[in-house]
């Protein structure tokens, strides 16, 4: 049986053939996939979010679909609808783009709250309810939603409760100068290089890897460390709403997945630290006074991490 680290190395190398210089971003997506969670990508337009999702789906060998959100998008456009056949008077269900292994929901904040809420059942329960019937989604099912932070006109920001449904929130960031030049050189062709990406694994193998992640050992010291960090967000003077129990579970699970990606069968505190910002980022609400003073969520997370002693495990002492 292939290990998580071996599988991840192959997928990472494949995606990096077309998505350059951001290996840690691809790692975050694999972490969420291994935890059966979903990702919110928040960044300015043109950063390669769609290419990243397409390259990941192609590398996994799964079916990919893209949903471009607009204010007139309806839930049926995403979930599917029954179409009437006038010849025999019957209805045939036509699946929507949600019925894929990897789904990119582009600019989710441009869709209305009604359409945004249609995605909640899919991300939370792995199924959708259409015309009174429940339909199972493909397994594995991985949703990547992008949110454009620079457009405000014609947008409907995600409520905090919906942001909390995403396992991780990740920003891509601008590429380095050399990487950006490499991006330009790679596209001196008529088609985008992403069309050349081939599957390096089978999508069915993801379920076995997800089971491996569940068995990664988490020491009591690490569990206490996670709990202390969560409590630190709840008691921080600049925080109105701290991390919820769902956030605690998210940090626990993603730390297991990251440890597996790094070839370990146990979690170390550095795994927790590395994922803390991606897990906590959309789960902390600041007080109005903190916002006026210019306090950021990132600075609060850094303060909590800096004020919490890092445990040393027996494996690290050795």
Please give the pLDDT value at position 88.
81
Provide the number of structural domains found in the chain. Answer: 2
132 and 43 in one domain? Answer: yes
Q: How far is CA 186 from CA 11, 13, 19, 261, in A?
A: 20, 16, 10, 28
Q: How many residues does the chain have?
A: 318
Q: How far is CA 299 from CA 159, 233, 278, in A?
A: 22, 11, 13
262 and 115 in one domain? Answer: no
Nearest to 194 by CA among 68, 67, 53, 7: 53
Domain boundary among 156, 176, 207: 207
Structural domain for 228, as ranges: 215-317
Please write the tens of the pLDDT for every residue from 31-76: 999 999 999 988 877 888 888 988 998 999 888 899 999 889 998 8
**Spatial contact of 78 and 98, defined as CB atoms under 8 Å apart:** yes
155 and 28 in one domain? Answer: yes
Low-confidence residues in the chain, pLDDT < 70? 150-154, 315-318
147 and 38 in one domain? Answer: yes
228 and 152 in one domain? Answer: no
Domain boundary among 182, 207, 232: 207
Nearest to 33 by CA among 6, 47, 19, 53: 53
151 and 39 in one domain? Answer: yes
What's the CATH number where 34 sits?
A: 3.40.50.300
**Spatial contact of 61 and 7, defined as CB atoms under 8 Å apart:** no
Handedness of CA 68, 72, 75, 81 (dihedral sign): negative
261 and 201 in one domain? Answer: no
What's the CATH number where 255 sits?
A: 1.10.8.80
Nearest to 26 by CA among 41, 46, 43: 41
**Spatial contact of 51 and 18, defined as CB atoms under 8 Å apart:** yes
232 and 146 in one domain? Answer: no
247 and 156 in one domain? Answer: no
Please give the pLDDT value at position 132.
76
238 Cβ contact list (under 8 Å, min separation 6): 286, 287, 289, 290, 295, 300
**Spatial contact of 166 and 38, defined as CB atoms under 8 Å apart:** yes
Q: Label residue 126 left, alpha or beta by phi (over 0 means left) and psi (-120 to 50 means alpha).
A: left
180 and 129 in one domain? Answer: yes
Nearest to 78 by CA among 86, 68, 88: 68
For residues 277 and 219, give the distance between their C-alpha atoms in angstroms, rounded to a whole number: 21
**Spatial contact of 100 and 63, defined as CB atoms under 8 Å apart:** yes
Domain boundary among 207, 235, 250: 207
Q: Give φ, ψ of 192 to 5 degrees.
A: -75, 145
Q: What is the crossing angle of helices 245-261 and 23-34, to 10°?
A: 120
114 and 182 in one domain? Answer: yes
Mark 229-256 as b/e (b = at least 16 C-beta within 10 Å).
bbebbeebebbeebbbeebbebbbbbbb
161 and 131 in one domain? Answer: yes
| pTM strictly above 0.75 | yes
For residues 2 and 222, give the distance between their C-alpha atoms in angstroms, rounded to a whole number: 27
Helix (H) or strand (E) holding 136: strand 133-136
């Amino acid at each position: 049986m292939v290990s998580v680290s071996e599988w991840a190395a192959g997928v990472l190398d494949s995606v990096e053939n077309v998505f350059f210089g951001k290996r840690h971003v691809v790692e975050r997506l694999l972490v969420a996939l291994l935890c059966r969670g979903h990702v919110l990508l928040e960044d300015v337009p043109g950063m390669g979010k769609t290419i990243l999702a397409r390259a990941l789906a192609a590398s996994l060998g799964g079916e990919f679909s893209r949903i471009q959100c607009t204010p007139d998008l309806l839930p049926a456009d995403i979930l599917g609808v029954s179409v009437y056949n006038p010849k025999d008077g019957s209805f045939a269900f036509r699946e929507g783009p949600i019925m894929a292994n990897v789904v990119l929901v582009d600019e989710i904040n441009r869709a209305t709250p009604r359409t945004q809420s249609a995605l909640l059942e899919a991300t939370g329960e792995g199924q959708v309810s259409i015309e009174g019937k429940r339909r199972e989604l493909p397994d594995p099912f991985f949703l990547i939603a992008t949110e454009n932070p620079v457009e405000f006109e014609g947008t409907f920001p995600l409520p905090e409760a919906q942001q909390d449904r995403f396992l991780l929130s990740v920003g891509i960031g601008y590429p380095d100068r050399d990487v950006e030049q490499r991006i330009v050189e790679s596209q001196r062709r008529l088609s985008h290089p992403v069309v050349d990406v081939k599957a390096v694994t089978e999508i069915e193998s993801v379920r076995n890897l997800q089971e491996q992640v569940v068995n990664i050992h988490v020491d009591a010291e690490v569990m206490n460390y996670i709990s202390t960090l969560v409590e630190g967000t709840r008691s921080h003077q600049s925080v109105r709403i701290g991390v919820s129990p769902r956030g605690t579970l998210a940090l626990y699970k993603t730390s297991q997945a990251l440890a597996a990606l790094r070839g370990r069968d146990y979690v170390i505190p550095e795994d927790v630290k590395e994922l803390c910002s991606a897990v906590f980022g959309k789960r902390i609400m600041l007080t109005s006074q903190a916002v006026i003073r210019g306090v950021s969520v990132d600075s609060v997370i850094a303060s909590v991490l800096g004020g919490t002693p890092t445990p040393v495990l027996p494996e690290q002492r050795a």
